[in-house]
């Protein structure tokens, strides 16, 4: 059995179709079918049921694929370990963050890391927490920054800091708005908020329910950059992490009474995953950056 057999097996299992799997693998369908038959013969049992319109894994196939995926992850980790250079002159690091962190956290952290280790290639993705944890579990990421909570069984977390949300308005357009606003006062303020699929918006909605208020939502958006520009240029307010005001000079924060509950920010990784020198260095950078928190 060869590594390509496992790759071919997983491709057919993913696509449920030999033709589409062959196209994705850039091989001919007869070649793919032959390789899968070789795998069937070597294991002594058919891995796919081809009797219907779609190709489905047999019970034996389901059992084998589960371990095949884990084996492929370990082999990929082994490949990265072979190419890892401990003095950090070269290497790579795959990171992901949930959306709000990209606005105020990614710039300072990644700039600092790049200045220290210019030979390390960094990739950063922005994704939801569910997507981030799934990518970590499948070894498509090295580390992720997200919120504390119920994580997937394969995911471990390390506390970083507490994030505080607050009301924000334009420094130029709303200079007269009070520096303290009650929940009742918030209900009167037109808002532009993140759409409902964002964890930040869900946190805001819980706060409003707890305070017994119905927010006046004038605009919903799935872009934090767009929200910042809308607030900066007009009379609408928003609720976002207070750290954003430090990165956006056109905004000022307004104290909410009572304030929204803070959220614990954590560094996520896959349990038992290989930790490259670059990965360890990024962890140390984060620990130092938030040590005073």
Would 88-162+264-289 and 165-261 be classified into the same CATH topology?
yes
CB of 282 within 8 A of CB of 99? Answer: no
Class level of CATH domain 88-162+264-289: alpha beta
- pLDDT of 250-288, one tens digit each? 898 898 999 999 999 999 999 988 788 899 999 999 989
- Which pLDDT score, from 0 to 100, does residue 1 have? 54
Residue 81 has pLDDT above 70, yes or no: no
Distance of CA 29 to the CA centre of its chain: 35
Residue 72 has pLDDT above 90, yes or no: no
CB of 124 within 8 A of CB of 106? Answer: yes
Domain 3-82, CATH number (from 1.10.10.10, 2.102.10.10, 3.10.129.10, 3.40.1170.20): 1.10.10.10
What is the separation, in whole angstroms, between the first and last Cα of the chain?
52
CB of 196 within 8 A of CB of 271? Answer: no
Could you tell me the residue ranges of all domains in the chain?
3-82, 88-162+264-289, 165-261
- Topology, domain 165-261: D-Maltodextrin-Binding Protein; domain 2 (3.40.190)
Environment class of residue 67 by beta-carbon count within 10 Å: exposed (0-12), middle (13-18) or buried (19+)?
A: exposed
CB of 181 within 8 A of CB of 215? Answer: no
Question: Which pTM value belongs to this model?
Answer: 0.69
């Amino acid at each position: 059995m060869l590594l390509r057999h496992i790759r071919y097996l997983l491709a057919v299992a993913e696509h449920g179709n030999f033709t589409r799997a062959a196209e994705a693998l850039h091989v001919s369908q007869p070649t793919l079918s032959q390789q899968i038959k070789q795998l069937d013969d070597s294991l002594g049992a058919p891995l796919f049921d081809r009797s219907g319109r779609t190709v489905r894994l047999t019970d034996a196939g389901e059992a084998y694929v589960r371990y095949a995926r884990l084996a492929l992850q370990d082999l990929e980790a082994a490949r990265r370990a072979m190419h890892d250079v401990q003095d950090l002159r070269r290497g790579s690091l795959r990171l992901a963050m949930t959306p709000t962190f990209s606005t105020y956290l990614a710039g300072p952290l990644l700039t600092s890391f790049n200045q220290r280790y210019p030979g390390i290639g960094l990739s950063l993705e922005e994704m939801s927490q569910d997507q981030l944890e799934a990518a970590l579990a499948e070894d498509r990421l090295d580390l992720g920054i997200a919120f504390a909570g119920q994580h997937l069984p394969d995911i471990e977390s390390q506390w970083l800091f507490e994030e505080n949300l607050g009301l924000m308005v334009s420094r130029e357009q709303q200079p007269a708005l009070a520096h303290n606003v009650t929940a009742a006062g918030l209900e009167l303020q037109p808002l532009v908020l993140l759409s409902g699929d964002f964890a930040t918006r869900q946190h805001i909605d819980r706060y409003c329910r707890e305070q017994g208020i119905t927010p006046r939502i004038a605009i919903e958006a799935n872009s934090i950059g767009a929200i910042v520009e809308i607030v900066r240029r007009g009379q609408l307010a928003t609720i976002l992490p207070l750290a954003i005001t430090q990165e956006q000079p056109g905004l000022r924060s307004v104290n909410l009474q009572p304030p929204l509950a803070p959220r614990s920010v954590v560094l996520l990784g896959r349990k038992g995953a290989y930790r490259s020198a670059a990965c360890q260095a990024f962890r140390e950078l984060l620990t130092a950056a938030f040590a005073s928190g």
